[in-house]
Amino acid sequence: MAEMVRAENVHKQFGHSQVLKGINLAVNTGEVQCLIGASGSGKSTFLRCINHLEEVTHGHIWVAGQLIGYQVKGNKLHRLRSRAAAHQRRDIGMVFQHFNLFPHMTAAENITMAPIVTKGVSKTIAADQSMRLLDKVGLRQFADAYPAQLSGGQAQRVAIARALAMDPKLMLFDEPTSALDPELVGEVLEVIKDLAAGGMTMVIVTHELSFARDVADSIAFMDNGVILEQGTPNQITSNPQEERTRNFLRRVLTEESRADSEKQHERAS
Ligand SMILES: Nc1ncnc2c1ncn2[C@@H]1O[C@H](COP(=O)(O)OP(=O)(O)O)[C@@H](O)[C@H]1O
Ligand SMILES: [Mg+2]
């Protein structure tokens, strides 16, 4: 199976603070890699390095065989200019916690903009594609709605459709449901599960453990800038080897059950 993502000894430093301290990770084409770990452990920074929103300070990342941020000429590495870096980024879709839709554009316009502007796709073709994508995320009837008219779950589904419009080889999700009200989480996770079933390669940062268990081929636990432990969902959630992984899981599960009982409480009252 071909590798879609390969990270080797990735370091990232902000000023004096070492945020990533040697990340090694390989994700095969068609696989779903979930990243879990406490806030501040470097999950977002690592995702941002994969699509070159951040430049690594040491180490290398390849996506679909291309070295991110550099061009290899002979045996020399040349830093890519911003235009070439943007070109690489086109193959990588990213979905953020806070959707980041353009507020002054309709759902359909949000989806068609990048293909029209960066790929020169005609307006008619882009519009057809946007309807297909809105269909895929269950929002065909919301094509003309503005982000402010959408629920958080709907806005996030539009954001996913927007990323898909660039026909990415890889999708990155950074806590796609953590800004949502609990009752809207499911509809977004369903869309992501559909993508997984369709064979999309994805790296997903999430705190939704039962979702990660369902959808992931592999789960990596990040701790203090490294991947402390990685394995199948079963290995990581049922038989973690590291004390820090066990503590993290215990904490997340306690929070989940607290949220659940609060929900039941609300329903009962
Ligand atoms: N642009 C930045 N400048 C300085 N520090 C940053 C920057 N981005 C992230 N950090 C720091 O890097 C650490 C890891 O952050 P982040 O990758 O967001 O972790 P996570 O997503 O796991 O919560 C944090 O301590 C954060 O403050
Ligand atoms: Mg984060």
Q: At residue 174, does pLDDT exceed 90?
A: yes
Q: Which residues surround ligand 2, an ion (CB under 5 A)?
A: 43-44
Three-state secondary-structure class, residue 113: helix
| Residue-wise pLDDT tens digits, 199-242 | 999 999 999 999 999 999 999 999 999 999 999 999 999 999 99
pLDDT band at 89 (very low <50, low <70, confident <90, very high): confident
Residues linked to residue 95 through DSSP beta bridges, in sequence order: 173
Q: Decide whether any atom of ligand 1 lies within 6 Å of the 6 Cβ.
A: no
Q: At residue 5, does pLDDT exceed 80?
A: yes
pLDDT band at 31 (very low <50, low <70, confident <90, very high): very high
Look at residues 215, 221, 224 and name the one whose alpha carbon lies nearest to residue 249.
Answer: 221
Q: At residue 80, does pLDDT exceed 80?
A: yes
Average pLDDT over every residue of 13-18: 96
User: What residue owns the CA closest to ligand 1's atom 7?
Assistant: 14
Element (H, E) at 179: none
Look at residues 172, 176, 202 and name the one whose alpha carbon lies nearest to residue 187.
Answer: 176
| pTM of the entire predicted model | 0.94
Q: Cα(36) to centroid of ligand 2, in Å? A: 10
Contact call for residues 12 and 3 (beta carbons, < 8 A): no
Q: Decide whether any atom of ligand 1 lies within 6 Å of the 39 Cβ.
A: yes
Tell me how far apart the alpha carbons of residues 214 and 132 are, in angstroms, rounded to a whole number. 26
**Phi and psi torsions of 244, nearest 5°:** -70, -30
Judged by its nearest atom, the ligand closest to the C-alpha of residue 45 is 1
Tokens of 27: 């994700």
Handedness of CA 140, 110, 98, 14 (dihedral sign): positive
Class of residue 29 by CB neighbours under 10 A (exposed 0-12, middle 13-18, buried 19+)? middle
Q: Cα(45) to centroid of ligand 1, in Å? A: 6
Pocket probe mutation, ligand 1, options 14, 36, 174, max atoms within 8 Å of Cβ:
14
DSSP state, 13?
E
DSSP state, 222?
E
Tell me how far apart the alpha carbons of residues 59 and 80 are, in angstroms, rounded to a whole number. 16
pLDDT band at 74 (very low <50, low <70, confident <90, very high): confident
Average pLDDT over every residue of 6-15: 97
Q: In which residue are the tokens 């009962």 written?
A: 268
